């Protein structure tokens, strides 16, 4: 218990203090002095007041508990509680409610006048009441309004009249009285009010000015010299942070809805796929119930065939795309544009263009999502499996943001673009890529497009395709003479047809060329039917499109021999084929490999499928003309089939050879198609005639072009 | 002699203000006393003169108007003239009232009367701080000289304030506006002669007639009235009984216009938001200012909540007292101003108010302390409350496993919501802290124990926390209170 030790230690608020009674500590007196070691705490009073006489007296009295006396109390001015008139003044009684009082905000605002009448007013009122009745509250309201309308200047009598809707006499009396009273009034207003601060700061030290507005910012901490600027900055920062939080939350919400939209779209697409709504018709029906329903029913029927195939094959939607796209790609590089220009006239007669638009839109939307999720759909049109062979290379088609791309509409559009120039009108010719051959150096230049260049020169824009390799090896002689005789080889007829116009020179040749075109035209799924279909009523809807093609063909070629029955057989066979093919496609899990792996597998099956043949399948599927051609032009086709395998370019693998089993099948096709020709032979329609003529005239130009090209080649 | 008297009288007429002289007053035992007093003002009413005197070392609340016959002219002390000039120039300009010019005249006349000045220092009470009070006086308007009382304007007494940088700046520059936190005075206007004097003679409130203790900024035209009438429930001020009568026909309040958050027996507490109910809050502040010297009404009432304690009878809920509280206090204040109206004083209501304020702090989970400076009555009340609260805990502690009971200061603070410093100062004041065998201990003497037990027997009014329906609001989350 040395003095040093206790000086060293301060009182620790966190340290337990044992509690003793004095009697327990006989030796406590020894350490009483130590008490001073604890620093004296302030009383919290003003120092000078602390020393006030009465307080000191009271404190000293209290510190000795026993000595507390009445006279040790701090004296204060007296207060009385003996107002005798209290009960008269405060009338009425209040029963204590069970519930605690709860004041409603903005309640109790009953607009009572703040002015309270005094005895002087009462005298006036009594005087006035002799002539007319006026209640105190009425008087108070009048004075109240006058007071509140007067700021520095008193309201004039005219203003008072507007202010108070009172009898003129009363108003005059009260107004005069008020003016007099106010002039005599010592205060600024008859309603005594707390003095208000003036903005100029002159009232800063006026003791009677109270409740000034706190214009400056609150001090946040007393001990820190807080400059206002930093405080305001902090406030601003806080505001901005909270704004950021809001924005982020909104972004979160937006992204969530985006995800939901994506999922919903996927669902819609899946549902559409399951329903087979490939044309978007169901969708448009659902989304635009007010839209005009198409009168024309044929496409649906035609679609049925497809649907059947896909359904049975269980092919995923993208697989379907793959198939359709493959079919078109080699021949049709500017497809989107062309398609559009072509379709419009085609659609006009049969169905409202609007509907078409809707369908496309839906497809576009679906595409947008696909492209955003790239990896999922490597087989999208822009990245065809042919890519490595695709001469487009860096010029390959790529999607551009903000552009609307029309999705290929399989059953209606494929193969149409260059097959039916006459239907598209002359405009379409400019954009058409046709298989072109030159007559002077008799060779096939592959796919090309004519256009008029400077000085009237006709230019051929050549397009590359995966057929080029094959085409190069064909000499013109073959072109002119050979027709697809072997129906098992589908690719040859196709090429033949396309080269035909180029090699034609005489009118007869031209006519036969046109015939060749018509064969190509012979496509059960082409929309061509739209154009010619109108001419034929009462035809089975299923054949509508087909008939269009057949019709023209029949008219021009005049050849026939295919019965309706045969056609149906052919249809079925074709469906069967497709089903098989699609089933196999579906088996290929990663779509990109699908194309290349197909041949090997196919070899073991009924058909041998090289990329080319596969492509041919699609062609056949969507554009069947080759088969019909083969029928009518018999033997040459066989000839060609013999040739093609041997001359097969890089796209024709060695393994490709037509198996005997496949032959009958194809033959079946051929025979099935020809009856159609026959069937329609009897009924030529004027419209188709006209179209044929147009085609003839347009194709007529081709030979003239050839020299220009050859000269250019030199 | 007669001539001399006349001269003195003449002198007094000119320059009485600031002079000191013994003035007759009755003490609590109704005995005559002649304490030294300072004449602050003179007024002439028909027939006679009245002198406003402040008894030195008595609280201002005892200041009064006295007739000349109570002045002991023989012992008149004139104010020292020196210190006046420098401080006067430093004073803020626009003083609305006359005293300053009069004082200047007095000061100018001072030198002529040097002979009568000398006896001044031998004032009977040793504690008179002559050095500080005289120069003050010479200013006339600023009683307190800054250098001597740095803590004057601040809530913190010098002991605490030593580390408080703020306390220093008040001594040099004169702030044009007071700080905006807190409710207690910090502006120079308080030193104004106007605010040093009571301006309201009498207030009638309900059944009571109250003699105000201090200045209150009621509208100036009302200060000349013999009686200012207040509506007991809305506290509106009225110039006459007739007006009050008229007012009562329109005012249907029978309780303070707030939410009742506590009721037990006849005692209720109402919470009033200083921003939402400005009129009532201002009226309450004006009334309270009559009894609170250091309260400031400089700024609006927005940042405060007012807890009004009422006593119910068949006429309504009569205001007994109140305390205000900052919605957000940066200094752990749980009370800004606290007042029991004079008619209810010395009956345990003050302690009840204090207890309630700590109950609120308990709900808030904070410790709190009253805003400083405390008044004399405030200090006594708080000390008494703290003492009883702490002793209650200490005496209730039972030995733990045969061990001597012990408790930390933090524990006490946590249990009672009394701020740690207040706990320590109370323990000190009660002389409970002792250093014994190498450690601090708390010792309870018989005196303390008996005194406490006696005090607790008299303490009938207690707050019952079960009757409190209070949910603290987080005011910092609101834009502005």
Residue A245 forms contact with B (CB below 8 Å):
no
In this structure, are residues B41 and B195 in contact, taking their beta carbons and an 8 Å threshold? no
Integer Cα distance of A527 and A538 in angstroms = 18
Rounded to a whole number of angstroms, the distance from the CA of B22 to the nearest CA of chain A is 15
Q: Give the pLDDT confidence of B18-60 residue by residue, as tens digits.
A: 889 999 998 888 889 999 999 999 988 888 889 999 999 999 9
In this structure, are residues B51 and B39 in contact, taking their beta carbons and an 8 Å threshold? yes
pLDDT at residue number A513: 58
In this structure, are residues B334 and B360 in contact, taking their beta carbons and an 8 Å threshold? yes
Question: Between chains, do A79 and B209 touch, taking CB under 8 Å as contact?
Answer: yes
Set of chain A residues whose Cβ sits within 8 Å of the Cβ of B274: none
| B174: pLDDT strictly greater than 50 | no
Q: Which of A473-487, A668-682, B79-93, B186-200 has the highest mean pLDDT?
A: B186-200
Instruction: Calculate Rg over the CA atoms of chain B.
Output: 25
**Structure-model confidence comparison of residues B355 and A29, the more confident one:** B355
Per the structure block, which two tokens stand in for A466? 């995966």
Question: Between chains, do A211 and B299 touch, taking CB under 8 Å as contact?
Answer: yes
Q: φ and ψ at A290, to 5 degrees? A: -85, -15
Set of chain A residues whose Cβ sits within 8 Å of the Cβ of B404: 18-20
Q: Which residues contact residue A270 at a Cβ distance below 8 angstroms, ignoring those fewer than 6 apart?
A: A317
* A contact test, residue of B285, B422, B436, B467 with most A CBs within 10 A: B436
CA A515 to chain centre: 49
Q: Which residues contact residue B32 at a Cβ distance below 8 angstroms, ignoring those fewer than 6 apart?
A: B24, B25, B26
Give me the residues of A, 69-128, that contact B with CB < 8 A: 70-71, 73-83, 86-87, 89-91, 93-96, 100-103, 105, 108, 112-113, 116-119, 122
Q: Which of B93-97, B180-184, B392-396 has the highest mean pLDDT?
A: B392-396
Shortest CA distance from B296: residue in chain A: A210
Active site residues of B: 371
Shortest CA distance from B246: residue in chain A: A116
| B274: pLDDT strictly greater than 50 | yes
β-pair partners for B210: A79, B203
pLDDT at residue number B345: 93
Q: Give the pLDDT confidence of A618-628 residue by residue, as tens digits.
A: 444 444 444 43
For residue B2, what pLDDT band results from cuts at 50, 70 and 90?
A: low
Q: Which of A2-11, A418-427, A683-692 has the highest mean pLDDT?
A: A2-11
Integer Cα distance of B293 and B437 in angstroms = 46
pLDDT at residue number A406: 76
In this structure, are residues B343 and B311 in contact, taking their beta carbons and an 8 Å threshold? no
**pTM of the predicted model as reported, rounded to 2 decimal places:** 0.55
Q: At what angle do helices A136-149 and A168-184 cross, to 10 degrees?
A: 60
For residue B112, what pLDDT band results from cuts at 50, 70 and 90?
A: very low
Q: Give the pLDDT confidence of A636-658 residue by residue, as tens digits.
A: 334 444 444 444 344 434 444 43
Among the partner-chain residues B242, B251, B448, the one whose CB lies closest to the CB of A118 is B242
Give me the residues of A, 199-218, that contact B with CB < 8 A: 201-214, 216, 218
User: How many residues comprise chain A?
Assistant: 714
Strands (E), B314-362: 316-326, 333-335, 338-340
Q: Give the pLDDT confidence of A296-327 residue by residue, as tens digits.
A: 444 443 334 344 444 344 444 443 444 333 44
As a whole-number percent, the residues of chain A with pLDDT over 70 amount to 40
pLDDT at residue number B123: 36
| B107: pLDDT strictly greater than 90 | no
**Structure-model confidence comparison of residues B166 and A699, the more confident one:** A699
The secondary structure element, H or E, covering residue A80 is strand A79-80
For residue A186, what pLDDT band results from cuts at 50, 70 and 90?
A: confident
* B contact test, residue of A79, A193, A198, A223 with most B CBs within 10 A: A79
In this structure, are residues B165 and B114 in contact, taking their beta carbons and an 8 Å threshold? no
Question: Between chains, do A192 and B221 touch, taking CB under 8 Å as contact?
Answer: yes
In this structure, are residues A321 and A371 in contact, taking their beta carbons and an 8 Å threshold? no
pLDDT at residue number A7: 54
For residue A559, what pLDDT band results from cuts at 50, 70 and 90?
A: very low
Shortest CA distance from A59: residue in chain B: B380
Set of chain B residues whose Cβ sits within 8 Å of the Cβ of A93: 314-315
| A524: pLDDT strictly greater than 80 | no
| A431: pLDDT strictly greater than 90 | no
Among the partner-chain residues B93, B177, B207, the one whose CB lies closest to the CB of A81 is B207
Question: Between chains, do A118 and B239 touch, taking CB under 8 Å as contact?
Answer: yes
Query: CA geometry: angle at A60 spanning A59 and A64, to 5°?
Result: 110
Residue B81: CB atoms within 10 A of its CB come to 19
| A289: pLDDT strictly greater than 80 | no
Among the partner-chain residues B95, B166, B187, the one whose CB lies closest to the CB of A223 is B166
pLDDT at residue number B307: 97
pLDDT at residue number B6: 61
pLDDT at residue number A5: 47
Average pLDDT over every residue of A274-282: 81
Set of chain A residues whose Cβ sits within 8 Å of the Cβ of B179: 219, 222
Give me the interface pTM, i.e. the ipTM.
0.76
As a whole-number percent, the residues of chain A with pLDDT over 90 amount to 10
**Structure-model confidence comparison of residues A587 and B212, the more confident one:** B212
* B contact test, residue of A6, A18, A34, A196 with most B CBs within 10 A: A18
Helix or strand or coil: residue B325? strand
Shortest CA distance from A13: residue in chain B: B409
Set of chain A residues whose Cβ sits within 8 Å of the Cβ of B165: 223, 225
* A contact test, residue of B148, B244, B245, B458 with most A CBs within 10 A: B245
């Amino acid at each position: 218990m040395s003095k040093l030790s206790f000086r060293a230690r301060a009182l620790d608020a966190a340290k337990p203090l044992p509690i003793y009674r004095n009697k327990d500590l006989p030796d406590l007196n020894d350490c009483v002095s130590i008490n001073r070691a604890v620093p004296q705490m302030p009383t919290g009073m003003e120092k000078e007041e602390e020393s006030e006489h009465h307080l000191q007296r009271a404190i000293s009295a209290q510190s000795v508990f026993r000595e507390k006396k009445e006279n040790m109390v701090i004296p204060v001015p007296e207060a009385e509680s003996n107002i005798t008139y209290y009960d008269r003044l405060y009338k009425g009684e209040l029963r204590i409610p069970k519930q605690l009082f709860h004041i409603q905000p903005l309640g109790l605002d009953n607009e009572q006048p703040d002015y309270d009448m005094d005895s002087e007013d009462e005298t006036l009122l009594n005087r006035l009441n002799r002539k007319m009745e006026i209640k105190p509250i009425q008087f108070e309201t009048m004075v109240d309004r006058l007071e509140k309308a007067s700021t520095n200047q008193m309201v004039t009598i005219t203003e008072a009249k507007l202010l108070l809707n009172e009898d003129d006499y009363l108003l005059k009396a009260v107004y005069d009285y008020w003016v007099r009273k106010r002039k005599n009034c010592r205060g600024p207003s008859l309603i005594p009010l707390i003095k208000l601060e003036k903005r100029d700061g002159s009232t800063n030290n006026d003791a009677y000015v109270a409740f000034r507005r706190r214009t400056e910012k609150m001090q946040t901490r007393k001990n820190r010299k807080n400059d206002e600027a930093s405080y305001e900055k902090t406030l601003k920062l806080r505001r901005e942070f909270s704004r950021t939080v809001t924005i982020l939350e909104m972004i979160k919400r937006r992204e969530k809805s985006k995800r939901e939209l994506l999922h919903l779209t996927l669902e819609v697409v899946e549902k559409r796929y399951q329903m087979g709504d490939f044309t978007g018709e169901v969708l448009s029906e659902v989304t635009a119930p007010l839209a005009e329903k198409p009168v024309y029913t044929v496409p649906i029927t035609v679609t049925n065939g497809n649907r059947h195939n896909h359904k049975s094959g269980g092919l995923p939607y993208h697989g379907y795309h793959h198939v359709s796209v493959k079919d078109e790609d080699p021949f049709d590089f500017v497809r989107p544009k062309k398609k559009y220009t072509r379709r419009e006239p085609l659609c006009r007669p049969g169905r409202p263009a609007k509907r078409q638009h809707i369908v496309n839109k839906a497809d576009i939307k679906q595409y947008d999502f696909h492209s955003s999720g790239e990896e999922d759909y490597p087989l999208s049109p822009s990245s065809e499996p042919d890519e490595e062979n695709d001469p487009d290379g860096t010029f390959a088609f790529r999607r551009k943001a903000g552009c609307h791309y029309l999705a290929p509409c399989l059953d209606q559009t494929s193969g149409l673009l260059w097959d039916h120039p006459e239907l598209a009108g002359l405009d379409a010719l400019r954009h058409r890529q046709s298989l072109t051959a030159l007559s002077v150096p008799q060779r096939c230049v592959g796919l090309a497009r004519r256009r008029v260049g400077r000085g009237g020169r006709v230019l051929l824009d050549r397009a590359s395709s995966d057929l080029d390799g094959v085409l190069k090896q064909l000499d013109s002689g073959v072109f002119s003479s050979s027709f697809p005789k072997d129906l098992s080889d589908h690719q040859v007829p196709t090429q033949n047809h396309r080269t035909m116009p180029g090699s034609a020179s005489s009118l007869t040749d031209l006519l036969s060329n046109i015939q060749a075109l018509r064969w190509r035209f012979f496509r059960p799924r082409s929309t061509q039917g739209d154009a010619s279909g109108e001419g034929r009523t009462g035809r089975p809807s299923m054949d509508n499109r087909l008939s269009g093609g057949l019709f023209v063909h029949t008219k021009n070629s005049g050849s026939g021999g295919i019965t309706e029955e045969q056609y149906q057989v052919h249809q079925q066979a074709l469906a069967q084929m497709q089903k098989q093919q699609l089933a196999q496609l579906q088996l290929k899990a990663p779509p990109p490999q699908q194309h290349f792996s197909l041949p090997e597998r196919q070899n073991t099956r009924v058909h041998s499928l090289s990329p080319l043949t596969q492509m041919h399948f699609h062609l056949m599927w969507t554009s069947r003309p080759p088969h019909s051609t083969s029928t009518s032009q018999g033997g040459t086709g066989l000839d060609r089939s013999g040739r093609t395998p041997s001359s097969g370019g890089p796209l024709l693998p060695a393994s490709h050879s037509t198996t005997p089993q496949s032959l009958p099948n194809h033959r079946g096709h051929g025979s099935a198609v020809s009856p159609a020709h026959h069937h329609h032979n009897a009924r030529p329609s004027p419209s188709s005639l006209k179209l044929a003529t147009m085609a003839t005239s347009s194709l007529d130009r081709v030979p003239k072009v050839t020299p220009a090209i050859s000269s250019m080649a030199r | 002699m007669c001539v001399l008297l006349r001269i003195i009288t003449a002198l007094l007429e000119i320059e009485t203000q600031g002079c000191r002289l013994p003035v007759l007053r009755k003490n609590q035992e109704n005995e005559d006393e002649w304490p030294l007093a300072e004449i602050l003002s003179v007024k002439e009413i028909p027939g006679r003169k009245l002198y406003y005197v402040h008894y030195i070392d008595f609280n201002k609340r005892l200041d009064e108007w006295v007739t000349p016959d109570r002045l002991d002219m023989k012992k008149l002390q004139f104010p020292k003239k020196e210190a006046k000039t420098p401080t006067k120039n430093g004073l803020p300009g626009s003083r609305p009232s006359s005293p300053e010019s009069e004082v200047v005249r007095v000061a100018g006349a001072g030198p002529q009367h040097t002979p009568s000045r000398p006896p001044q220092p031998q004032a009977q009470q040793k504690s008179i701080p002559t050095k500080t009070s005289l120069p003050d006086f010479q200013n006339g308007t600023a009683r307190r000289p800054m250098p001597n009382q740095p803590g004057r304007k601040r809530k913190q007494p010098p002991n605490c304030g030593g580390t408080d940088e703020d306390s220093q700046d008040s001594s040099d520059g004169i702030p044009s506006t007071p700080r905006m936190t807190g409710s207690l005075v910090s502006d120079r206007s308080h030193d104004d002669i106007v605010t040093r004097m009571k301006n309201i003679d009498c207030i009638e409130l309900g059944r009571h007639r109250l003699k105000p203790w201090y200045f209150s900024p009621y509208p100036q035209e009302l200060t000349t009235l013999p009686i200012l009438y207040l509506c007991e429930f809305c506290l509106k001020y009225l110039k006459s009984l007739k007006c009050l009568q008229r007012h009562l026909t329109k005012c249907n309040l029978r309780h303070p216009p707030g939410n009742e958050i506590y009721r037990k027996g006849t005692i209720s507490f109402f919470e009033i938001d200083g921003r939402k109910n400005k009129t009532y809050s201002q009226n309450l502040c004006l009334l309270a200012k009559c009894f609170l010297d250091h309260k400031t009404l400089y700024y609006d009432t927005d940042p405060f909540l007012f807890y009004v304690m009422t006593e119910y009878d068949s006429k309504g809920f009569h205001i007994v007292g109140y305390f205000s509280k900052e919605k957000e206090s940066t200094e752990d204040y749980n009370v800004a101003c606290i007042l029991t109206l004079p008619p209810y004083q010395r009956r345990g209501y003050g302690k009840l108010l204090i207890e309630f304020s700590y109950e609120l702090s308990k709900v808030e989970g904070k410790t709190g302390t009253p805003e400083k400076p405390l008044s004399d009555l405030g200090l006594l009340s708080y000390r008494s409350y703290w003492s009883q609260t702490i002793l209650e805990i200490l005496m209730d502690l039972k030995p733990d496993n045969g061990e001597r009971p012990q408790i930390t200061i933090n524990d006490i603070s946590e249990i009672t919501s009394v701020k740690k410093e207040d706990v320590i100062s109370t323990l000190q004041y009660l002389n409970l802290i002792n250093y014994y065998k190498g450690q601090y201990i708390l010792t309870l003497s018989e005196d303390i124990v008996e005194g406490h037990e006696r005090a607790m027997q008299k303490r009938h009014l207690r707050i019952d926390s079960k009757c409190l329906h209070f949910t603290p609001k987080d005011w910092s989350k609101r834009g502005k209170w």
